Amino acid sequence: MNKKLQIGVMGPDSKEYPKSGEKQKRITETAKLLGKLIAQNNATLFTGGCGGVMLYASKGAKSEGGITVGSPGRTRGASNKYVDIEIITDIDAGSFIFAGLLSCDAIIFIPGGAGTLAELCFAYRNKKRCIIMMGYDRFYDRLIGNYLDRGRSTKLLGAKIPEDAIKLALKEANQ
């Protein structure tokens, strides 16, 4: 059976963006390009479905005719306007961890706050292929090439540009 790959893009909501306008623009452009590249590679995009990275990745995927899935929490219709399929859960904050993350074949992380870090830890614990975008946060950069525990289940990978992140995600998802 040939399955359609499902790639997640995780990162901060716009209210958690850095204060610097230049950094905000970089996050937005990266998210949008990741979405476009996922769609161009005939994969389905998974996000939390709300704003910030989730909005721009979804917008990028839709601009290329891609399929987008979001999990915004308990309220139907709470996803951004670029989400095709909305998965509703009984939790508001962190609902994506349970509803979407386990469905992903690989996940690309744009460094963010505690929510993004929780998603990274949960993905790692469930042996998901994790790719961290480099150069956004020193803490996250130090995780690249390493493991999060002694079990050493999944090495955290890194990519400097969205094109390399997608190549890695596709390669890792097909293993």
pLDDT, tens digit (0-9, with 9 covering 90-100), for 76-130: 888 899 999 998 877 665 555 666 888 899 999 999 998 899 899 999 999 999 9
Place of tokens 């204060």: 19
pTM: 0.94
Tokens matching residue 25: 């623009």
- The domain tally of the chain equals 1
Cα separation, 160 vs 162, in Å, equals: 7
Q: Is residue 81 part of a domain?
A: yes
HSE on the CB side for 51, CA within 13 Å?
Answer: 6
Q: Is residue 132 part of a domain?
A: yes
Cα separation, 137 vs 76, in Å, equals: 33
Residue 51, domain CATH: 3.40.50.450
- Mind listing the pLDDT tens digit for each residue in 127-141? 999 999 999 999 999
φ, ψ (nearest 5 deg) of residue 172: -65, -35
Tokens matching residue 154: 């999944």
